[in-house]
Amino acid sequence: MKERINRLRKLYMESPTRAIFLERTLLLEEAKRKYEHLDRGSLYAAAMAYVLDNMEAEIREDEYIVSTMKQTLLTEEQEEWYAELCADNNFKAVLLMGFDPLRISKSIGEQDDIYYPEWFCSYGHNVGDYPRVLKLGFSGLAAEARERMKDPALGGTQKTFLENCIVVCDAMTRFGLRYSEKARELAEGAQTEEERRRFRTIEETCKVSPGLPAQTFRQAVQSVWFFHMVQAALVGCRDYSFGRIDEYLYPYYKADLEAGRITREEALEIIEEWYIHESEFIGYAFDVKGMKRIPNYDCIQYIVLGGTDVDGREVCNDISFLAMEAWMDLENIKTPQIIVRWFRGMNQDLLDCAVHMNAAGKSTPSFFNEELIIKALVQYGVAEQDARIFAYYGCNNVVIPGLEDNLRESWHNGPKYLELALHAGVDPVTQKRIGPKTMAPGDMQGIEDVLGAFREQLAHALYLDRQDHSRCDQIWHAMKPFSYESLFGTDCIAKASSLDAEGSRYRHCNIEFMGIATLADSLYALNQVVFVEKRFTLPEFLEILAQDWAGHEELAMHIRNHYPKYGNDDDAVDIFAKRVGDMLVEEVGKLKPLYNGRKAYASFYSMMWHRHMGVDVGATPDGRHAYEPFSENLSGTYGLEKNGPIGALNSAAKLPLDWTPSGAHNVKFLPATVKGPEGEARLKACINAYMEKGGHQIMMTVADAEELKRAKEDPEAYQNLMVRVFGFSDYFISLWPDQQDEIIARDTMVL
Residues lying near other proteins in the complex (CB under 8 A): 553-558, 561-562, 569, 643-647, 650, 672-673, 679, 681-682, 684-686, 688-690, 692-693, 715-716, 719, 722-731, 733-736, 739, 750
| Distance from the Cα of residue 280 to its chain's centroid | 18
Closest CA to 91 of 301, 299, 295: 295
3-state SS track over 37-72: CCCHHHHHHHHHHHHHHHCCCCCCCCCCCCCCCCCE
Q: How far is the CB of 376 from other proteins (least distance, A)?
A: 21
Q: Where are the beta strands (DSSP E) in 495-594?
A: 508-514
Which 3 state secondary structure label does DSSP give 697? Answer: strand
Beta carbon nearer to other proteins, 62 or 741: 741
| Distance of alpha carbon 649 from alpha carbon 697, whole angstroms | 10
| Distance of alpha carbon 490 from alpha carbon 569, whole angstroms | 44
In contact, 473 and 598? CB cutoff 8 Å = yes
Beta carbon nearer to other proteins, 75 or 561: 561
Q: Which residue type sits at 265?
A: E
- Percentages helix, strand, coil for the chain (3-state, rounded to 5) are 55, 10, 40
Query: What backbone phi and psi angles, to 5 degrees, belong to 72?
Result: -130, 140
Q: How far is the CB of 671 from other proteins (least distance, A)?
A: 10
| Distance of alpha carbon 645 from alpha carbon 641, whole angstroms | 8
Tell me the residue length of the chain. 751
Beta carbon nearer to other proteins, 471 or 675: 675
Closest CA to 570 of 654, 692, 694: 654
In contact, 581 and 604? CB cutoff 8 Å = yes
Q: How far is the CB of 350 from other proteins (least distance, A)?
A: 17
| Distance of alpha carbon 144 from alpha carbon 494, whole angstroms | 9
Q: Which secondary-structure segment (H or E) carries 534?
A: none
CA 529, 532, 533, 538 dihedral sign is positive
Q: Which secondary-structure segment (H or E) carries 701?
A: strand 697-702
Beta carbon nearer to other proteins, 341 or 565: 565
Q: How far is the CB of 751 from other proteins (least distance, A)?
A: 10
| Distance of alpha carbon 307 from alpha carbon 338, whole angstroms | 13
Q: How far is the CB of 317 from other proteins (least distance, A)?
A: 25
Beta carbon nearer to other proteins, 589 or 676: 676
Q: How far is the CB of 342 from other proteins (least distance, A)?
A: 12
Q: How far is the CB of 580 from other proteins (least distance, A)?
A: 22
Q: How far is the CB of 361 from other proteins (least distance, A)?
A: 17
Q: How far is the CB of 715 from other proteins (least distance, A)?
A: 5
Q: Within 10 A of 628 (CB to CB), how many other CB atoms are there?
A: 17
Beta carbon nearer to other proteins, 396 or 720: 720
Beta carbon nearer to other proteins, 147 or 553: 553
| Distance of alpha carbon 94 from alpha carbon 77, whole angstroms | 30
End-to-end CA distance of the chain: 32
Q: How many helices (H) and strands (E) does the chain have?
A: 28, 14
Q: How far is the CB of 641 from other proteins (least distance, A)?
A: 11
Q: How far is the CB of 557 from other proteins (least distance, A)?
A: 4
Beta carbon nearer to other proteins, 69 or 733: 733
Beta carbon nearer to other proteins, 74 or 555: 555
Which 3 state secondary structure label does DSSP give 599? Answer: strand
Q: How far is the CB of 694 from other proteins (least distance, A)?
A: 10
- Kindly give, in sequence order, each residue whose CB lies less than 8 Å from that of residue 2, ignoring residues fewer than 6 positions away: 269, 272
Closest CA to 620 of 450, 387, 466: 450
- Kindly give, in sequence order, each residue whose CB lies less than 8 Å from that of residue 729, ignoring residues fewer than 6 positions away: 722, 723
Which 3 state secondary structure label does DSSP give 305? Answer: strand
- Kindly give, in sequence order, each residue whose CB lies less than 8 Å from that of residue 383, ignoring residues fewer than 6 positions away: none
Beta carbon nearer to other proteins, 442 or 676: 676
Q: Within 10 A of 150 (CB to CB), how many other CB atoms are there?
A: 7
Beta carbon nearer to other proteins, 540 or 730: 730
Q: How far is the CB of 719 from other proteins (least distance, A)?
A: 7
Beta carbon nearer to other proteins, 629 or 679: 679
What is the 8-class DSSP label of residue 75? P
Q: How far is the CB of 127 from other proteins (least distance, A)?
A: 31
Q: How far is the CB of 695 from other proteins (least distance, A)?
A: 10
| Distance of alpha carbon 182 from alpha carbon 199, whole angstroms | 9
Beta carbon nearer to other proteins, 519 or 556: 556
Q: Which residue type sits at 307?
A: G
Beta carbon nearer to other proteins, 185 or 716: 716
Beta carbon nearer to other proteins, 194 or 728: 728
